[in-house]
A and B are shown apart, each in its own frame.
Chain A
Amino acid sequence: MRRAGLSVFFISLIALIASIACGIAIGPVLIPIDETFKILFGSFFSLTGVDPTHALIIDQVRLPRVLLAALVGFALATCGAVMQGLFRNPLADPYLLGIASGATAGAALVIILQWDTIALALPVGSFLGGLLAVAMVYQLSRGRFGRLDNLTLILAGVALAALFSAVSSFLLYVANNDETRRIVFWVLGGLGGAQWSHVKSLFFIVLIGFTVMLAFAREINALILGEEMATHLGVQPESVKKILMLTATLITAGAVAFAGTIGFIGLIIPHAVRWIVGPNNRILIPVSGLCGATLLIACDTAARTVVQPAEIPVGIITALIGAPFFLLLLKRHRHLSAAHWSERT
């Protein structure tokens, strides 16, 4: 099992590298492969025969966009895996606790207050909005002795998501035309307009979060057996849940802040990967991350090339590819999927 998991890990790593290469090579503007190589590894080659416009496109448009897609896909898929494990719920996804609607309300508020001209105010506003939503869900769900009940958390998440959507709708209602346009634009999200500063910020958030998740992989494994069982194994369910929820929230809020809400990745990737490598989170979380990154790069490459010069919102592609793929897996592994959750709860 362990060796199988390791080989799957390396296969997904190679797939990710291949998809990054394809993502950089393919685009609406045709740039020859050898020229792309020269631009990417400029310091090793001579820069002769390189069109400066092409260099600009690779350096400032495609590379940050592909890397942002990788980070967002990685973030969503790892968070999805962690959430599904923590809540022992196959429908859990990174947006379970109301992050997306909180982030939207935060972004809308920043736009209404006219702060969005300040650099990074929009991502920061949506980030804080997402954090606020989860903090409220968390406070509301805390029972006696600080116990966190899964069902209460999920219900509070649904209710607060509705509340924050109402706030966004209200802000949209009071906004003038120009502000409405900018809010809608933010909600549409997507990876167009990716910048190096976004890539750098998200990289650090994901790096920290991923390290924490991996460090707690064993504890998540124990939690899947049930909280009582986990306590016997020396795991403190409450503190582990707290730390991991905070981590997943931070990463997801970061992804939402720079790319809006992109559905399906966080839901289907962990399931698909679980079917292949099994439920061990030590393997599941990193492989989910790699596959999520690969899938989002592929979807985004399709989004910006299929109907060019226009672009399709990437969420449409992830749903179009993700949903049938997921159904196919579901049909093939029906017996497995049923067993997966029942035997351990």
Chain B
Amino acid sequence: MNLRNFLRIFTLSLLVTAILVLPSLAGFPIKIVDDRGKEITITKKPERIVIAGAALYAEILVDLGAAGRVVGITDSADNPPEFARTEKLGNIFAPNIEKIIALKPDLVIGSFGKPRDALEIAGLIVLTTPAIDGSVDVFKTIRSIGLAIDGETQKTDSLVGKFSESIVTDEAKVIELPRPSVAILYPSPESPPFAAGASTPENEIVLRAGGQNSFTDFTQYKQVNFEEIIKRNPDIILTDPSQISLITSNRFLKETKAVKTGKVFGVKASSWTSSRIANTLRGVAKLFHPDAFKEK
């Protein structure tokens, strides 16, 4: 293991440790800083929780064993099956404010924009965590949510510990292996696809899973033209499972090595920022280096 690789694994461990040694508050009231930098105070242990945001929050509540305390949830295709019978509250962008208030929740998680203002005016406590750019953010989110619903972080710390251990173990398996070039593309039928660039969750996981993102010369998600994709000729293309056929049938992308060798794989777009980010990483690493995971 060369020094650079060692440093990369070391940093993750360090960051996780840093998260874990953040002041471990115990008991309510609890103060948590939200995505606006505002301090949210939760006065008592929330028994009635409403999820009015990303499916990530729903996953975290399941992982923390708090699914039973959720009394309402906004629609998302990625919500875990545990919430199939939970009262639905409409779209994330326009949740049904009346219904949320009528559910008398102690805590609303994930709401933003005008609906959040309206809920706060109605006297509800709303907690939304900062946007997620990578695994460390996922862990921070898990910790904030755990703190908010239980007043302590024992469960979250063991969860985060488990996840990061799994990540570091998998990373060690593939770190010395030759890196395939990988493009993460989100195509649309007619126009050029969007590619995930540097400082995206996709980029981080691809790197940790022993791949090399073909598009690191820009940040965030940018539309890239077909010429450029053909020129960079990725070994592997990752996309959302629903979009695989758009890639394999595209007359320009057909020219890439990935399509020619049948290495176009689906990774659910939501799983890059899921609380099961460690599973995502293992899945992706297996796609890149099937042999490294064969032993035993």
Q: Contact: A56 with B90, CB < 8 Å?
A: no
Q: Tell yes or no: B251 within 8 A of A by CB.
A: no
Asked if B89 is at the interface of the complex by the 8 Å CB criterion, the answer is: yes
User: Which of B10-18, B115-123, B276-284, B287-295 lies on the face that meets chain A?
Assistant: B115-123
Chain A residues numbered 21-71 whose CB sits less than 8 Å from any CB in chain B = 27-29, 53-54, 56-57, 60-62
Contact stretch, chosen from B20-28, B57-65, B99-107, B240-248? B99-107
Total chain B interface residues with beta-carbon distance under 8 A: 31
Contact B94 A57 (CB under 8 A): no
B249 at the interface (CB under 8 A from A): no
Judge whether B215 is part of the interface by a CB distance below 8 angstroms.
no
Q: Which residues of B contact A57 (CB under 8 A)?
A: 98, 101-102
Q: Does B75 contact A (CB under 8 A)?
A: yes
Whether the pair A309, B123 counts as a contact (CB closer than 8 A) is no
| A193 lies within 8 A of B101 (CB) | no
Residues of B within 8 A of A196 (CB): 121
Q: Is the CB of B91 within 8 A of A310?
A: yes
Q: Which of A309-326 contact B (CB under 8 A)?
A: 309-311, 313
- B89 touching A309 by the CB < 8 A rule? yes
Mask, A270-293, CB within 8 Å of B = 1, is 000000000000000000000000
With a CB–CB cut-off of 8 A, which chain A residues contact B87? Answer: 309
In the assembled complex, the CB of B106 is this many whole angstroms from the nearest CB of chain A, namely 13
| Number of A-B pairs, beta carbon distance below 8 Å | 88
Q: Are A192 and B98 in contact (CB under 8 A)?
A: no
CB-nearest residue of chain A relative to B116?
A: A193
Q: In the assembled complex, which residues on chain A have CB atoms less than 8 Å from the CB atom of B101? A: 29, 53, 56-57, 60-61
**B122:A61 contact, CB within 8 angstroms:** yes
CB of B208 within 8 A of chain A? no
Selected from B94, B112, B117, B123, the residue in CB contact (under 8 A) with A182 is: B112
Within 8 A of A (CB), among B64-102: 75, 87-91, 93-94, 96-99, 101-102
Complex CA–CA separation, A61 to B75 (angstroms): 21
A343 interface residue per 8 A CB criterion: no
Which of B99, B121, B122, B123 is A29 in contact with, Cβ under 8 Å? B99
| Residues 213-231 of B contacting A (Cβ, < 8 Å) | 220-221
- The answer, among B37, B113, B220, for a CB contact under 8 Å with A177, is B220
In this complex, the member of A53, A176, A192, A304 whose beta carbon has the largest number of chain B beta carbons within 10 angstroms is A192
Inter-chain contacts of A184 with B (CB < 8 A): 93
Please provide the chain B residues from 170 to 186 with a CB less than 8 Å away from any CB of chain A in the complex: none
B269 to chain A, nearest CB (A): 12
CB of B36 closer than 8 Å to a CB of A: yes
B117 touches A195 (CB 8 A): yes
Q: Which residues of A contact B104 (CB under 8 A)?
A: 53
Q: In the complex the two chains form, is B88's CB within 8 Å of A60's CB? A: no
- Residues of chain B touching chain A, judged by Cβ–Cβ distance below 8 Å, are 35-38, 75, 87-91, 93-94, 96-99, 101-102, 104, 112-115, 117-118, 121-123, 131, 220-221
Q: With A61-B118, A310-B75 given, can you name 10 additional A-B contacts, CB distance below 8 Å?
A: A29-B99, A53-B101, A53-B102, A53-B104, A54-B102, A60-B101, A182-B112, A192-B97, A192-B115, A309-B88
A-B CB proximity, top 8 nearest: A193-B114, A310-B90, A178-B131, A193-B118, A309-B90, A311-B94, A309-B96, A29-B102
Interface residues of A (CB under 8 A from B): 27-29, 53-54, 56-57, 60-62, 117, 176-178, 181-182, 184-186, 188, 190, 192-196, 304, 308-311, 313
Give 11 CB contacts A-B under 8 Å: A27-B98, A29-B98, A61-B118, A178-B131, A182-B113, A192-B114, A193-B118, A194-B118, A304-B98, A310-B96, A311-B90
